[in-house]
Structures are given as structure tokens and as C-alpha cells.
Amino acid sequence: MTDLIKRASAEARAFARAERANGKAGKQAAASKRASRSARADAFDDARGRAAPRIEMPRKPRFAPVTFSEERGVRYLHFGTEWVQGAMRINKPDRLELEYAQQMMAWLLFLETPKRIVQLGLGAAALTKFAYRFLPRAHVEAVELNPAVVVAARTMFALPPDDARLTVHEADAWDFVTDRTHHGTVGVMQIDLYDATARGPVHESLAFYRAVRACLTGAGMATINLFGDHPSFVRNMKQLNAAFDGRVIALPEVHEGNRIALAFSGPALGIPFAALERRAKLIEEKLGLPARGWVKALRQVTSASSSAASAETFTL
């Protein structure tokens, strides 16, 4: 299992090597080229007249470039930076390689497979593929705004084509969750919405998280990928707690800052940890996920605030 979330892309390493090799000479040559281009532009203006219309430079692309790297049998998705946006072990394309992605499935401790699972933010399609492959009773959907990410998922990360059980929506997550036709229909929503800078979710308002909750069925759950060592973590936890009436818990940090928050809709919970451990053992046997580690993490998070009498029961 890969346990690093921030990893330099092949492109970044190549550019860094080239820059070191060229050094000062390269910078001087680049400056000379710019000066030459400027002189040619001035000559053109003199010949055609200063009032001649100029052709504007192309606008910045709407989306960051989708790039890839590979190391030790694992393929990584990047958005033009060193930040990993998803990963796939090439010889096990349907398995979850990153620990934080495995924790996004922690809702399995509390729920049977729902009829509808929705992933906001496709990335390398790891969670979408896993649910599609191993949870056959669910209709699995992903919502992704960038069409290049969808193409990458299909061509580089083994995402199957849409069929009766799989649907990929090219749409904004905000538009999806605020569409009332989805309200009350989603059993589990998994949220991993990061841009190229990976500084925090691109949707993090109270209105957004309230709309997420509105999409859930009566006893649904949402799992959210947050960065625990970034100011956005406190902000998102505040908004989540307001939207879900305080029924939110964040697992301990993994990788370089990732923390998975679990948000609960429906009736209050009071589940003995012994029952969660039995459930975790079954998940490990059937799905190969490290579920007993999730129970241990829940104990760790809740032990500080629990009394001795309630230490053996998970309540929220």
C-alpha cells in the first residue's frame, strides 16, 4: 500500500533536472530570445503602424493540465503539480492503493450497501471502481467537472464505460447536490474535491454541506477528504458540524495531512465497539480493506471525550 500522498511527478523531476543542467547559461539564452522577440514585434509595429490591432495571448485554460507519473508499479494522477490526485497499482486496478481512499469506505462499518453511491470528484476513479467492482447491489455514480479527468480515468486508470450500474456525470458538484431531483436518494456520498493546488476542498460552504445532507437518504452517510494540517480543516469541520447537527467525526491523520471526516444523517447511533470490530473483521475478509484499523481510529478519537461507562460504545 502506498502511504505518501505528496509525490513529485515525472514531469516536475524532468524539468528540475533540465533547469539545473542549463543553469545560468539557459536563463541568459532565454532572456536573449525574449529580447529578440520584442525587437521583432517593435519592427512589425513600425512597419504596420502602432494603431494596428494586436492578437491577444490565449486565455489560461479553465482546468489544470492532467499529468501522470509511475513509480514501483503504481500510476499516479496529477493536475500539473507534484500533488497526487489519485493512484492505481497497475496489476491491481480495482483495489484502493492509498490509505486515505480506503478510509473513505469507513461507512461500511455502519451501513449495508445502499442502492445509490455517489462520488464527488472522480480523480483516478479508485473509489468509483472499487464500489462498482465489489458492491454489486449499488448503482455507482461519479460527478466530475473536468472532461480531461474523465478521459484519463477511462484510458489510464481502467474505469469501465457507463452501463446499467455505473454513471459518470460531467458536472459541477455544486449543481449536482443542489438539484432537488437528487435529494433524499443517495445512500452514501464520498467527497474528494481538490484542485491542482490541493489547499482545501473547492466546495466547502455551509450551503454546500447542507445540500449534501439533503441528498442523503434517511440514514445516509457522507465521507469527506480533508487536510488536517491546513486552515481549511477547521473551517470545513465547522461547516460540516453545522450542516449535520454535530454528528461528524474525523479520523486521525494519514499520509501528509489527509483526514477523513464521517458525517451521519438519520437517527442517533449507539453501537458497541465489539459489534463494530465484528463488522470490521467481515469487511476485511470480504473486501480486503483494513477495517479493524478504522475501529481502532474511532476508539482513539472518541476515548478523550468518553466517560468510563461509555468507553465501549460508539455514540454520535
The amino acid sitting at 59 is R
Give the Cα separation of 260 and 253 in Å (integer): 8
Nearest to 13 by CA among 61, 97, 78: 78
pLDDT digits (tens, 9 = 90+) for 61-98: 578 889 999 999 999 999 888 888 899 999 999 999 99
Q: Which CATH class is domain 98-315?
A: alpha beta
pLDDT digits (tens, 9 = 90+) for 216-257: 999 999 999 998 878 899 999 999 999 999 999 999 998 668
State pTM to two decimals: 0.79
Most confident option among 43-47, 156-160, 252-256, 305-309: 156-160
Question: Regarding predicted confidence, which is higher, 188 or 28?
Answer: 188
List all residues 6 or more positions away from 218 whose beta carbon is below 8 Å from its beta carbon: 184, 265, 266
The amino acid sitting at 281 is K
Q: Which three cell numbers stand for residue 243?
A: 450542516
**How many C-beta atoms surround the C-beta of residue 238 within 10 A?**
14
Q: What is the DSSP string of 207-265?
A: HHHHHHHHHEEEEEEEEEEEETTSHHHHHHHHHHHHHTTT-EEEPPPBTTTEEEEEEE-
Q: What is the DSSP string of 261-282?
A: EEEE-SS--EEEHHHHHHHHHH
pLDDT of the residue at 307: 53
38: pLDDT strictly greater than 90 = no
Nearest to 123 by CA among 15, 225, 228: 225
Are β-strands 313-315 and 270-272 bridged in parallel, bridged antiparallel, or unpaired?
antiparallel
- Per-residue pLDDT band for 315 (boundaries 50, 70, 90) equals very high
